[in-house]
């Protein structure tokens, strides 16, 4: 019986079948669903960590204590987790430990593209790259055996299309893997310089043994095709690929090439490469992102075609490959695309970030440091309320640096940093310490929507629930902020524009640090009993409508940027000039921001 699974689901299943007993992660597209699915396996202790570094560290500790463990994260999360990763590579494991890195070619939901295969090289780790969901499951099991046999954490590297594509999977049973005994071993696990220099040598020896493994493992194999059409212009065509790129190559070239399919990609199999080159003459290296395999092939003295025809950026879809290799594209219907209007993502109707951005957009001499979350959309029309975005937790600290320079150079610019609740717990708390300790007048705003929103509603240290949805200690942001020493702290309902204005006025009037916490739930959140008690059982149920007699079509309300609100010329005509603005009653979530903006009191509860 085969089950349809995404790569993320299959990785979770693989962890379960491999006997994993502890898993930790911080949500991030496209990795989030790995831990979400693991929470369904009750034999595994599964936790949301406050960030990727502590997820990695918790998984390392679980391994040292004798349990097979896992940490999963998106590509940029590995940057955060890199410190423990590099050192854990030195000590090695007690029970097996796997780090899953989900890279995002095409940046569908990310601030950058990065090729995390280099982390395997740099941290000296074995690396696996599955191509579909079945391989995700199978390779997880292989990864734990490898981790224990070679005494090393293992990097499992996937990409968005592997993570979020469904394909059929045959599942097995959970292996009975008892917790290994814990034995204190200072020489192996305490990384003081005198001991770590010895570990360093062992790491190199381990890489040598892993190289031999890479040559013989069935994870790397040659698919020799002897058909006539594999020869073009007198050359036998070959393809070297790993991960999803392998299937893209098969899609475009099919049986028109021989393949070196690589599932184990650090260290790479030199002898297998030599063998492949005895079978083929003209070789394409088909890979997304950097010329990782290509540099290896070239370092072995072979000629190949790779990044000279395949872009190092964006998604490598079959379209891109077909054009690059075969020089053509499949043709669809020809039509006029000029009438198509872009549909960028937008803050939802009822989003609690709207009120804040509406007010911030009006402030003069203001530089806004953004962060990573739905609220990054504040950069766009109609708010245009963001100046720069660096990475998770950077808004307060990058804002602080900017404020220092503005002030020192006589600029009147006031810097406002914006981040969400989950981002605050991630690394934002460190950034706030930076602001407070250095007595910066940066205005720090925490948008507490009571959940980790953009990745699809994961619990966090502020929500009062854990990954399994059970009650957990709730860390109160206002108390944390005050405990750190912030003096000017205001908590406001962001849907109350007057309160938002007052909090901003107060903060702008201060010469030292200010913190504003906007507290209202995400409109998509499944409300808890505590939420209903705090925000009202009827929150989001009110609808607003427009009084056509009062509306003067000034369009002030559309500056709220609400998708429920529209001003459509055809519909205005149909209503013979009476109804100027329309509010979609299905979408309206009753935040009332538009009603507060309307200068004619034409918008009211319907």
Partner 1 sequence: MTKGTVKSILLVGVGGQGTILAAKILTQGLMEAGHDVKMSEIHGMSQRGGSVSSQVRYGEKVYSPVIERGSADLLVSFEKMEALRWLEYAKKDAKAVVNDCEIMPMPVIIGSAAYSGGILDELKARIDTTVIDAADEAGKLGNPRVMNIILLGAAAKLIGIDNLDWDGIISANVKPAFAEINKQAFKRGTELCAI
Residues that bind partner 1 (CB under 8 A): 2, 4, 29-30, 108-109, 132, 160-161, 164-168, 244, 247-248, 250-256, 317-319, 322, 329-337, 339-348, 374, 377, 380-382, 454-456, 555, 558-559, 561-563, 565-570, 586
Q: Based on CB atoms, which residue is closest to partner 1, 210 or 522?
A: 522
Q: Based on CB atoms, which residue is closest to partner 1, 78 or 565?
A: 565
- All residues at 6 or more sequence positions from 384 whose CB lies less than 8 Å from its CB, including other chains: 361
Q: How far is the CB of 194 from partner 1 (least distance, A)?
A: 46
Q: Based on CB atoms, which residue is closest to partner 1, 330 or 408?
A: 330
User: What does 34-79 look like in DSSP terms, one character per residue?
Assistant: HHHHHTT-TTSEEEE-SSHHHHHHHHHHHHHTT--EEEEEEHHHHH
Q: How far is the CB of 217 from partner 1 (least distance, A)?
A: 23
Element (H, E) at 586: none
Q: Based on CB atoms, which residue is closest to partner 1, 272 or 374?
A: 374
Q: Based on CB atoms, which residue is closest to partner 1, 208 or 586?
A: 586
Q: How far is CA 476 from CA 133, 148, 431, 488, 489, in A?
A: 40, 40, 17, 17, 13
Q: How many CB atoms lie within 10 A of CB 424?
A: 30
Cα angle for residues 554, 556, 557 (degrees, 5° grid) = 115
Q: How far is the CB of 159 from partner 1 (least distance, A)?
A: 12
Q: How far is the CB of 243 from partner 1 (least distance, A)?
A: 12
| Rounded Cα distance, 121 and 124, in Å | 5
* Contact by Cβ (8 Å): 414, 405: no
Q: How far is the CB of 305 from partner 1 (least distance, A)?
A: 18
Q: How far is the CB of 331 from partner 1 (least distance, A)?
A: 5
Q: How far is the CB of 318 from partner 1 (least distance, A)?
A: 5
Q: How far is the CB of 163 from partner 1 (least distance, A)?
A: 10
Q: Based on CB atoms, which residue is closest to partner 1, 236 or 559?
A: 559
* Contact by Cβ (8 Å): 56, 31: no
* Contact by Cβ (8 Å): 52, 80: yes
- All residues at 6 or more sequence positions from 448 whose CB lies less than 8 Å from its CB, including other chains: 420, 421, 424, 462, 477, 517, 518, 519, 520
Q: Based on CB atoms, which residue is closest to partner 1, 154 or 598?
A: 598
Q: How far is the CB of 59 from partner 1 (least distance, A)?
A: 24
Q: How far is CA 484 from CA 178, 288, 462, 515, 518, in A?
A: 43, 44, 16, 11, 18
The torsion angle over the Cα atoms of residues 602, 345, 49 and 176, rounded to 10 degrees, is 130
Q: Based on CB atoms, which residue is closest to partner 1, 253 or 310?
A: 253
Q: Based on CB atoms, which residue is closest to partner 1, 503 or 522?
A: 522
| Rounded Cα distance, 597 and 365, in Å | 22
Q: Based on CB atoms, which residue is closest to partner 1, 254 or 536?
A: 254
| Rounded Cα distance, 187 and 109, in Å | 43
Residue 467 is encoded by which pair of tokens? 């990954």
Q: How far is CA 398 from the centre of its chain?
A: 21
Q: How far is CA 193 from CA 90, 152, 190, 200, in A?
A: 12, 19, 9, 10
Q: Based on CB atoms, which residue is closest to partner 1, 510 or 526?
A: 526
Q: How far is the CB of 77 from partner 1 (least distance, A)?
A: 14
| Rounded Cα distance, 565 and 349, in Å | 9
Q: How far is the CB of 229 from partner 1 (least distance, A)?
A: 10
């Amino acid at each position: 019986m085969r089950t349809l699974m995404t790569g993320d689901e299959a990785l979770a299943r693989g962890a379960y079948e491999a006997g994993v007993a502890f898993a930790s992660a911080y949500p991030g597209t496209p990795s989030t669903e790995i831990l979400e699915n693991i929470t369904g396996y009750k034999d595994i202790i599964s936790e949301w960590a406050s960030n990727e570094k502590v997820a990695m560290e918790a998984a390392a500790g679980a391994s040292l204590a004798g349990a097979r463990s896992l940490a999963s994260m998106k590509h940029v999360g590995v940057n955060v987790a890199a410190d423990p990763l590099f050192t854990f590579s030195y000590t090695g494991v007690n029970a097996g430990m796997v780090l899953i890195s989900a890279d995002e070619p095409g940046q569908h939901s990310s601030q950058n593209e990065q090729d995390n295969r280099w982390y395997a090289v740099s941290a000296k780790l074995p690396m696996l790259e599955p191509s579909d969901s079945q391989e995700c499951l199978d390779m997880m099991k292989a990864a734990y055996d490898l981790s224990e046999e070679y005494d090393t954490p293992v990097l499992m590297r996937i990409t968005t299309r592997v993570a979020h594509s469904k394909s059929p999977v045959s599942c097995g049973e959970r292996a009975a893997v008892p917790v290994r005994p814990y034995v204190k071993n200072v020489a192996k696990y305490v990384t003081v310089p005198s001991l770590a220099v010895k570990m360093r040598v062992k790491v190199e020896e381990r890489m040598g043994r892993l190289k031999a493994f890479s040559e013989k493992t069935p994870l790397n194999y040659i698919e020799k095709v002897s058909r006539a059409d594999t020869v073009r212009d007198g050359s036998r065509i070959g393809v070297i690929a790993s991960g999803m790129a392998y299937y893209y190559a098969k899609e475009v070239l099919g049986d028109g090439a021989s393949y070196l399919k690589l599932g184990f990609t650090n260290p790479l199999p030199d002898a297998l490469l030599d063998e492949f080159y005895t079978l083929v003459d003209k070789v394409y290296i088909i890979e997304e992102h950097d010329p990782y395999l290509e540099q290896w092939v070239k370092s072995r003295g072979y000629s190949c075609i790779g990044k000279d025809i395949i872009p190092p950026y964006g998604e490598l879809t079959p379209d891109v490959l077909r054009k690059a290799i075969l020089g053509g594209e499949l043709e669809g219907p020809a039509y006029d695309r000029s009438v198509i209007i872009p549909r960028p993502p937008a803050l939802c109707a009822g989003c609690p970030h709207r009120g804040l951005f509406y007010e911030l957009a009006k402030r003069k001499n203001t530089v806004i440091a953004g962060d990573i979350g739905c609220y990054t959309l504040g950069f766009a029309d109609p708010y245009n309320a963001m100046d720069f975005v660096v990475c998770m937790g950077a808004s307060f600290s990058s804002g602080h640096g900017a404020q220092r320079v503005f002030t020192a150079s006589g600029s009147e610019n006031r810097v406002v940093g914006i981040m969400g609740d989950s981002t605050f717990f991630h690394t934002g708390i460190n950034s706030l310490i930076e602001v407070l300790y250095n007595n910066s007048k940066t205005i720090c705003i925490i948008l507490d929507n009571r959940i980790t929103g953009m990745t699809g509603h994961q619990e966090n240290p502020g929500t009062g629930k854990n990954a399994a949805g059970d009650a957990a200690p709730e860390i109160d942001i206002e108390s944390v902020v005050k405990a750190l020493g912030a003096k000017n702290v205001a908590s406001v309902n962001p849907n109350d524009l007057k309160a938002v204005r007052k909090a901003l006025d107060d903060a702008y009037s201060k010469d030292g640090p200010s913190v504003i916490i906007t507290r209202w739930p995400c409109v998509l959140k499944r409300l808890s009993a505590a939420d209903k008690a705090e925000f009202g059982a009827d929150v989001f149920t009110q609808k607003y409508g427009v009084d056509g007699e009062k509306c003067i079509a000034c369009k002030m309300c559309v500056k709220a940027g609400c998708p429920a609100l529209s001003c459509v010329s055809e519909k205005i005509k149909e209503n013979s000039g009476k109804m100027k603005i329309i509010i979609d009653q299905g979408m309206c979530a009753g935040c009332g921001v538009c009603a507060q903006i309307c200068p004619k009191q034409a918008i009211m509860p319907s």
